[in-house]
């Protein structure tokens, strides 16, 4: 995306968010579910989360309270699935 195509004014954030959500919606069902769960967890968090906290939370199944190590998503895949709505602070 070029800087010239970015929206400006009072609706800029709304347009950017809408574009990101549309990109998420157009992904495969698994990637869409992963992205939406990540955004929900981050939105509801009371503090910034560590990468491990987020990825391990996403690995939980609905009917289980144990972490499935094979289900822990790679953070690079997670960031890509979220279409710019989440970032990782390496510090």
- Size of the chain in residues: 91
What is the count of structural domains for the chain? 1
Domain hosting 50: range is 11-81
* Phi-psi group of 88: left, alpha or beta (phi > 0 → left; psi -120 to 50 → alpha; rest → beta): beta
Residue 58 lies in a domain: yes
Mean pLDDT of the chain: 87
pLDDT (tens digit per residue) in 72-84: 999 999 999 999 8
pLDDT (tens digit per residue) in 13-42: 888 889 999 999 999 999 999 999 999 999
In this predicted structure, the answer to whether residue 3 has a pLDDT above a threshold of 90 is no
Residue 2 lies in a domain: no
Residue 5 lies in a domain: no
Could you tell me the pTM of the whole model? 0.79
pLDDT for position 37: 94
In this predicted structure, the answer to whether residue 55 has a pLDDT above a threshold of 70 is yes
- Buried-exposed string 37-53: b where 16+ CB fall within 10 A, e elsewhere: bbbeeeeeeeeebeeee
């Amino acid at each position: 995306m070029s800087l010239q195509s970015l929206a400006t004014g009072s609706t800029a954030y709304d347009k950017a968010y809408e574009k990101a959500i549309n990109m998420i919606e157009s992904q495969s069902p698994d990637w869409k579910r992963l992205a939406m769960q990540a955004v929900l967890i981050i939105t509801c968090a009371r503090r910034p989360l560590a990468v491990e906290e987020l990825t391990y939370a996403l690995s939980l199944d609905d009917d289980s309270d144990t972490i499935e190590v094979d289900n822990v998503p790679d953070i690079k895949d997670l960031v890509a699935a979220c279409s710019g709505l989440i970032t990782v602070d390496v510090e």
